[in-house]
């Protein structure tokens, strides 16, 4: 079975990438949906119907299948190499994967609410929510690449700095957008 390791690993990586692509784009569609809800009729109805269709296709055709396949190939890899489960970096990575799954499930809940035209969040909240997947991706990528050589203090500080920079970027974008609504 280890003969197929590189194929399984490649498929795992491909589906992780497409899963993250969906997780990066779905909050952006949520933002558009929330902002469309504030438009006058009939623009509101036209936009929300189109956005509901786009999010439904993204969520069920790309994001969910990618999440399932990425997880399936990951389990297969762990089955082939169970000693990885003894590695401390893998414990941390799996904790971030659990966090990623929780993020995915919460996004699913938001998706279902918007499909029912229940707008419970602001577009500002969604812009911040959108960065959650980015932070998880950075954490997992560094853990996988650096493994045992990873300096935990540096890693935690790096993730915090990245989070702060992302929040500052959101605030800067809001200021630019407030000055120029077309941005």
How many other CB atoms are found less than 10 A from the CB of residue 105? 11
CA-based nearest residue to 10, from 58, 63, 65, 76: 76
12 is in an annotated binding site: yes
- Torsion 177-173-102-70 (CA) sign: positive
| CA 74 to chain CA mean position, Å | 17
52 is in an annotated binding site: no
3-class DSSP state for residue 182? coil
3-class DSSP state for residue 40? coil
DSSP 94-148: HHHHHHHHHHHHHHHHHHHHHHTT---S-HHHHHHHHHHHHHHHHHHHHHHHHGG
Distance CA 6, CA 16 (A): 15
Distance CA 66, CA 13 (A): 10
Going by the annotation, the residues of the binding site for heme are: 12, 93
Known binding positions: 12, 93
């Amino acid at each position: 079975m280890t003969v197929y390791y590189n194929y399984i690993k490649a498929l795992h990586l491909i589906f992780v990438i497409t899963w993250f692509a969906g997780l990066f784009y779905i909050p952006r569609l949520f933002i558009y949906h929330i902002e469309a809800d504030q438009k006058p009729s009939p623009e509101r109805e036209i936009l929300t119907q189109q956005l509901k269709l786009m999010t439904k296709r993204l969520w069920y055709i790309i994001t969910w299948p990618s999440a399932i396949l990425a997880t399936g190939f990951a389990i297969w890899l762990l089955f082939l190499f169970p000693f990885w489960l003894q590695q401390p970096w893998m414990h941390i990575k799996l904790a971030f994967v659990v966090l990623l799954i929780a993020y995915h499930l919460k996004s699913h809940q938001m998706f279902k609410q918007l499909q029912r035209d229940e707008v419970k969040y602001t577009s500002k909240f969604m812009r911040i929510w959108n960065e959650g997947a980015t932070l998880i991706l950075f954490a997992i990528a560094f853990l996988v690449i650096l493994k045992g050589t990873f300096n935990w203090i540096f890693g935690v500080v790096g993730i915090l700095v990245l989070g702060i920079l992302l929040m500052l970027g959101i605030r800067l974008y809001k200021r630019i957008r407030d000055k120029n609504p077309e941005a």
